[in-house]
Each structure stands twice: as C-alpha cells, then as structure tokens.
Amino acid sequence: MSLPKRQFGTTGEEVSVLGLGGFHLLEVSDADAIALINRYLDEGGNYIETAAEYGAGESERKIGLVMRERREECFLVTKCHLRDRKGAARTIEESLKRLQTDHVDCLLFHHVLRYEELEKIYSKDGAMKAFLEAKKSGKVRYLGITGHGQPDVLIKALEEKPHLDALMTGFNFYDRFNFPAKEERLIPLAKEKGMALIGMKAFADGLLWEYPQEALGYTLSLPIDVLACGFNTMAMLESDLEIVRKFKPMSEKEKQDIYTHNPVLSNSVCRLCDECLPCPEGINIPKVFLYEGWYDRQMRDRRIRSTPEFALRDRLRFWFDDRDQARSAYSGLDVKADACTACGDCVPRCPFGLDIIGKLDNAHYKLTREVTSSVPI
C-alpha cells in the first residue's frame, strides 16, 4: 500500500505525508544512505528534505547519489542558513551541485530564530534577493522558512513578509505544552495564508523515542501537509512506514489520553489547563510554567533519573535556546513564583498531580538566577 498524500499548501503539489529528513543520514555510510533513500522512494514516499548546514553539505551529497538517477520521483527540499544575498547565492549553487540537480522544489530559510535575522533576510542585500533570483531562473520553485521553539518570529514572517509558500517547524505532544502558540496561533495563520505546513520533530528530538505510535499519530493528526522524519536504520524506516500506512486521525479523547497518561509528560509537565487558578497570592501559575517551558522545555525538574535519560534531557533542554526570551517574559510578571507561601490551595486541584509548590520554586530558580559560570542551569 502506497503512502497517503496531502496537498502542499495551495501550490497544487502533492506530497507523501511521511517525508524523509536528511539530518540523520550523517550518521550512516554512503551505501546505507542510498539504501534508505531508495527504499523510501520505492514505498511511495516523495518528499526528501535536507539542508546545506547538515554536515557542511554532507547530507546533500549523500542524497545527490540517489538524485542523479531518481530526481523526477520526488519533491526535493533544501535549506540555506546564510542571511546575506551573496552568501545565499553561493550556497544555493553549492547545494544544487551536491544534490546533482538543476533545481530544488522548495528552498527554505534555515532556523530563523531572531527578529534581527528576519530583517536581515529581507534587507536590501539580504538572502531573499538571492532566493527570488534563483526562483526566477528556475533553480527553485517555492520558497519558505523554518524555525524552532517559540514561534514569534515565524508568526511575524507570515503576517508581514512576502514571497513565502511554506513553513517548517516542530510539532509534538510534549512541546505542545512548552510552545502552545504553534498550534493555537501559527497553524491557523498558516492555513489562512494558504501556506504549506511542514512538520518535524514528532519525537521531540528523541525524547519520545519509546512511543512511536503516539508520536507519529499525534503530529500527523494536526493539519500539516507533510511530516519530515529522520531514519538511520532500515528498521526505523520500516516501522514509520507501517505506522503511517495504518494512520487514522486521533480523536480529541485519544489526545487527552496521551496528555493524561503518557509517562514522559507524567506529573512534571504543566498542561496549561488553568485548574490551579486562582492562586491566593495572585501568582499566574500556568504562565510561570509556560515561561519555564520556553526556558528549558521543563526538562530539568529535580528528579533523579538514569544516566542515559538524564544525558538525553540535558542535551535537549536548551535545544532551541529561548532562555533570554523566557527570562525577559518572566521579569514582566507582576507576581513572581517566589510569592508562593506553600499554602497548598492549588495542589489538589491539579488533574495531573503536579508538585506545584516545588515546581514553582524550581521555575523561579531557573528564570531568575544569575549565571556566573559557563555551565547553564
């Protein structure tokens, strides 16, 4: 059974709902990369996405080994991380050479995280000029933008900036509660603009690796057009193919079951349900935990874990580096978490059993403590 397909925004293109992301091809040999890509294409996949920055072009080179024979079978996407016109133009040419093709179907501005970067891209000598020149010459068909973590910059791009056909960012049931604006504001805005929506990070950068059915099912149930996933073994690819072939959209009840029972969320991640309010001291408890989510994805929670689990969480908690934004937002709260008197009024009202008092203390510590060493807290 071939992979199901969805419309790629309003472009008129059709893409398979499961896309092949090129980052993890860095971890395998040329021969294994070729085998994985060919297997994906043989099974009806047609969306292949990479970036110039992945291994300084190594991912593009490996994909090019297959593209020289099977270019017409896929919707090929790459990304450019440079913000100036001259650098972007050079990078586009280098990407096409490595991919062994004369054009890509979509070119994305890679990981645009700051307002200053967005303004640079659209400046007189910015990268958008190079993108538009590449499109005019037939080297690129569609243009887009990618981002991580807090979606404020992406929202601004969609609201104010022209020439964009596609948007790529992460969606998963863990970060649903760290960056809720992605589902609540960004998706509706993208749909309103007719933008193609490319999802990634369904496994929350590996945090949800033990729950592939739930992870893929949740993200594919969102109104995205394609979900890019990385594969570094044939078994991983086959597993994801099987899940996607049998996919049925999750009901709200099934999503709520994940929110309530998944062990990774457990009783440590705030679900932003507001049941803990009002606080007698006037603390906006969910808002504090939202900013904690921006800060470190609520991953450093003072729990003792196994060494591998601790190492994974420690690696992932600053993956998007929204610390400054989190601390700035927290500083603007009229009542901080340290106003908590430990009265316990909120605790029995939490449907998820969070230790709200301890979590408030931990959040305040993270969001206010001065960092005096090179080791982030």
**Is 232:28 a contact under the CB 8 Å cutoff?**
yes
**Is 33:67 a contact under the CB 8 Å cutoff?**
no
Buried b (16+ CB within 10 A) or exposed e, 14-41: ebbbbbbbbbbbbebeeebbbebbebbb
Q: For residue 271, is it within any domain? A: no
**Is 338:303 a contact under the CB 8 Å cutoff?**
no
* 106: pLDDT strictly greater than 80: yes
d(CA 21, CA 316): 19
Q: For residue 78, is it within any domain? A: yes
Within this chain, do residues 226 and 298 fall inside the same structural domain, yes or no? Answer: no
Which residues have CB under 8 Å from 251's CB, separation 6+? none
Within this chain, do residues 58 and 182 fall inside the same structural domain, yes or no? Answer: yes
Residue 320 belongs to domain spanning = 285-368
Q: For residue 263, is it within any domain? A: no
Q: For residue 376, is it within any domain? A: no
Q: Which two tokens stand for residue 269?
A: 């991640």
pLDDT at 369: 86
The CATH number of residue 219's host domain is 3.20.20.100
pLDDT at 280: 97
* 374: pLDDT strictly greater than 80: no
Q: What is the pLDDT of residues 266-297, one digit of tens each?
A: 999 999 999 999 999 999 999 999 999 999 99
pTM: 0.95
Within this chain, do residues 12 and 161 fall inside the same structural domain, yes or no? Answer: yes
Q: How many domains does the chain have?
A: 2
Within this chain, do residues 111 and 241 fall inside the same structural domain, yes or no? Answer: yes
Q: What is the pLDDT of residues 10-68, one digit of tens each?
A: 999 999 999 999 999 999 999 999 999 999 999 999 999 999 999 999 999 999 999 99
